[in-house]
Amino acid sequence: MTRTTIFSEEHDALRRSIRAFVEKELAPHADEWEAAKDFPDWVFERMGELGFLGLHHPEEYGGSGGDYLTMLVREEEMARCGSGGVSMAVSVQAEYVTPPIAKFGTQEQKERYLRPALAGRRIGALGITEPDAGSDVAGIRTAAIRDGDEYVVNGSKTFITNGCRADFVLLVAKTDPGERHAGISLFLVDTDSPGFEVRRRLDKVGMWPSDTAELAFTDMRVPAANLLGEEGKGFHHIMWELQGERLAAAAGACAGAQRCIDLTKGYVEERRAFGQRIADFQATRHKFAEMQTSVDAARALVYETALAVNAGEYPVREITEAKLLATRVHFEVADTCLQLHGGYGYMMEFPIQRAWRDSRLARIGAGADEVMLDYIAKHMGF
Ligand SMILES: Cc1cc2nc3c(=O)[nH]c(=O)nc-3n(C[C@H](O)[C@H](O)[C@H](O)COP(=O)(O)OP(=O)(O)OC[C@H]3O[C@@H](n4cnc5c(N)ncnc54)[C@H](O)[C@@H]3O)c2cc1C
């Protein structure tokens, strides 16, 4: 049985070209970038040049005008680069920051931010989370107060992916600090604006090559023309954005889990104990069968949900379920695979430790498991 029937010949051709790029131009650098805890900006430019950042974005602004399933193809193939950090940084550019500009932006904003971002010439970051408000987005405190033709922004953000290297930030702020959801608006902020500061680059458990920043804004003036979408509608706009972010995370998680299985199958077929291959213990084979079943089930949910999105539906509950299930499966699979490597799995020279560290984040980022469970229960009528 073929499980990839949702993809056309064009998708398959796209997959071959992304795979060739990832294997030739990214994977050979994965160890070096991990050690440096950084990777060069040319990755964005090169991916922009190849058209991989704008797969389903409008051709008018330099995208390829493909369908939504092209996103799945890139997320799946990026898992082969061997660095969750690089995959995440690229996803932020292609699936977090640019879709809201394409959907809510003015023509001028699309020219200034979307076009160069799809080309990989301007790098974007998404600024939602604050030191005192993560899951509770409506609890953010960064204020953007209107003053003539500008907004004056004061506040801070934390855990911002691409925040150190970004040329601009899609900033979520309160235009009415007295309100919760109704007080939120979005802005496109140039990082060379006076009052913008990268306060700190954060050190983290996994995803090492991606930069994670703490940002501060002090009397930072943002032109009113940089308001993205409607004032006071930013919460709805960003909730829409989060659905795409979550489905991309789910697709990447399934591919990451599959990569762990494939890596580990090779290992247990080589390694011997008690006079036989580790692969020959029934306990080992059953672990693989359990893992593959979980990955196939999660992937089926991701594909079905992506097909619905592709058909113009907005399946929030299914997106949430897919994100919850796939990212849990990814971490559980990575953990089992590390276990199957024994002590070698705990050594930094074996790739499984990186996959294990990298896989942990997605159960927190883009909405923690508990927040996902709350959404699903709410959509069930609780
Ligand atoms: C490496 C990394 C990269 C990130 N990149 C970005 C980025 O680019 N842009 C950005 O804006 N943010 C980013 N984030 C932030 C991320 O989205 C938040 O960490 C996440 O939303 C959780 O927020 P928090 O960390 O403030 O946790 P909190 O909101 O403080 O929650 C802590 C824990 O409390 C529990 N909890 C919270 N709410 C509930 C609830 N309703 N019911 C039950 N339990 C609950 C959960 O267990 C949760 O994990 C990133 C985070 C990391 C670690």
pLDDT digits 0-9 by tens, 303-356: 999 999 999 999 999 999 999 999 999 999 999 999 999 999 999 999 999 999
Separation CA 138–CA 117 (nearest Å) = 28
Give the three-state DSSP class for 317: helix
**228-307-9 Cα angle (round to 5):** 110
Question: Phi and psi dihedrals of 77, rounded to 5?
Answer: -70, -30
> Of 75, 77, 245, 321, which is the active-site residue?
245
- State the distance from the centre of ligand 1 to the C-alpha of 293, rounded, in angstroms: 29
Distance 311 CA to ligand 1 centre (A): 30
Phi/psi at 294 (5° precision) = -65, -45
* CA atoms 287, 293, 299, 301: torsion sign: negative
Residue 240: band (very low, low, confident or very high) from pLDDT cuts 50, 70, 90 = very high
Tens of pLDDT, residues 135-163: 999 999 999 999 999 999 999 999 999 99
Task: Tell me the whole-structure pTM to 2 decimals.
Answer: 0.97
Residue that has been written with the tokens 């995208």 in this structure: 63
Does the Cβ of 132 fall within 6 Å of ligand 1? no
Closest Cα to atom 52, ligand 1: which residue? 159
Reference 118, options 140, 99, 146; nearest CA is: 99
d(CA 3, CA 360): 27
pLDDT given for residue 4 in this prediction: 55
Report the nearest-CA residue for atom 45 of ligand 1. 370
What's the gap in Å between 174 CA and the centre of ligand 1?
Answer: 19
Instruction: For residues 90 and 151, give the distance between their C-alpha atoms in angstroms, rounded to a whole number.
Output: 30
Closest residue by CA, ligand 1 atom 30: 134
Per-residue confidence (pLDDT) for residue 287, from 0 to 100 = 98
Q: What percent of the chain has pLDDT over 90?
A: 99
245 labelled catalytic: yes
Q: Give the per-residue pLDDT at 75.
A: 98
